[in-house]
Amino acid sequence: MSMTQIGMRVRTLVAAGLLIVGAAVAGGGTAQAATPFAAIDTATVNQFTLDPGTSFTGYGAAIDAVEAGGAVHVMDANQVLASGGRTGSTGLCHGTGLSSSLSPTGFCWDKADDTSNSYTPDGGWTPQGITGSYDAQPNGKWDNQTTSHTAYLASWHFDQDLGGSNPQSNAFARLTLVNADNGAITYNHMLLVEPTGDQSAGGNFRAAAGTHADGVVWYGNRVFVANGRWLQVYDLRHIWKVTSNQEMVGISGGVSSARWSNYALPMIGRYRTTASDGTACTPVTGTAPCLNSLSLDRSGQDGLVSAEYYASNAAGGRVIRWPLDAATTLPSTSDTSGVGTSHATVGYTSPIWHMQGAATDGTYWYLAGDCPSGVGGGSGDSIDYSCIHRAEPNQAPHVYTTSPVLTENLGYAPSAHRLWGINERINSTTGIRVVFSITAT
In this predicted model, what pLDDT tens digit does every residue of 66-116 receive, in sequence order? 999 999 999 999 999 999 999 999 999 999 999 999 999 999 999 999 998
Q: How confident is the model at residue 374, as a pLDDT?
A: 60
Phi, psi of 267 (to 5 degrees): -70, 135
Nearest-5° Cα angle at 108, 370 to 262: 115
Please, are residues 296 and 303 in contact by the beta-carbon 8 Å criterion?
Answer: yes
C-alpha 294/C-alpha 304 separation (Å) is 7
Please, are residues 421 and 400 in contact by the beta-carbon 8 Å criterion?
Answer: no
DSSP tag of 57: H
Phi, psi of 63 (to 5 degrees): -60, -45
From 372, 379, 374, select the one nearest 388 (Cα to Cα): 372
In this predicted model, what pLDDT tens digit does every residue of 175-213 receive, in sequence order? 999 999 988 999 999 999 999 999 988 999 999 976 678
In this predicted model, what pLDDT tens digit does every residue of 311-325 receive, in sequence order? 888 999 999 999 999
| Amino acid identity for residue 224 in this structure | F
C-alpha 317/C-alpha 348 separation (Å) is 8
Please, are residues 27 and 15 in contact by the beta-carbon 8 Å criterion?
Answer: no
Please, are residues 215 and 230 in contact by the beta-carbon 8 Å criterion?
Answer: no
C-alpha 313/C-alpha 224 separation (Å) is 29
Flag whether pLDDT at 40 surpasses 90: yes
SS3 for 136? helix
Q: How confident is the model at residue 382, as a pLDDT?
A: 55
What pairs with residue 294 in β-bridges? Answer: 306
Flag whether pLDDT at 23 surpasses 70: no
Q: How confident is the model at residue 383, as a pLDDT?
A: 61
C-alpha 267/C-alpha 56 separation (Å) is 9
From 223, 64, 263, 17, select the one nearest 135 (Cα to Cα): 223
What pairs with residue 231 in β-bridges? Answer: 226, 271
Q: Tell me the percentage of the chain whose pLDDT exceeds 70.
A: 85
Category of 406 on φ-ψ map: left (φ > 0), alpha (ψ -120 to 50) or beta: left
In this predicted model, what pLDDT tens digit does every residue of 121-151 receive, in sequence order? 667 899 999 999 999 999 999 986 677 999 9
Q: What is the mean pLDDT of residues 245-266?
A: 95
Flag whether pLDDT at 403 surpasses 70: yes
List the domain range (segments joined by +) for residue 398: 3-439
Please, are residues 140 and 148 in contact by the beta-carbon 8 Å criterion?
Answer: no
C-alpha 422/C-alpha 437 separation (Å) is 9
Higher pLDDT, 163 or 187: 187
DSSP tag of 64: H
Cβ atoms within 10 A of the Cβ of 31, count? 23
C-alpha 430/C-alpha 112 separation (Å) is 10
Please, are residues 183 and 161 in contact by the beta-carbon 8 Å criterion?
Answer: no
What pairs with residue 233 in β-bridges? Answer: 224, 269
C-alpha 419/C-alpha 403 separation (Å) is 12
- Average pLDDT taken over every residue of the chain: 88
pTM: 0.91
Question: Which residues of 119-168 form beta strands (DSSP E)?
Answer: 125-132, 142-143, 148-149, 151-158
Nearest-5° Cα angle at 124, 121 to 130: 105
C-alpha 192/C-alpha 154 separation (Å) is 12
Q: How many domains does the chain have?
A: 1
DSSP tag of 371: P
Polymer length in residues for the chain: 441
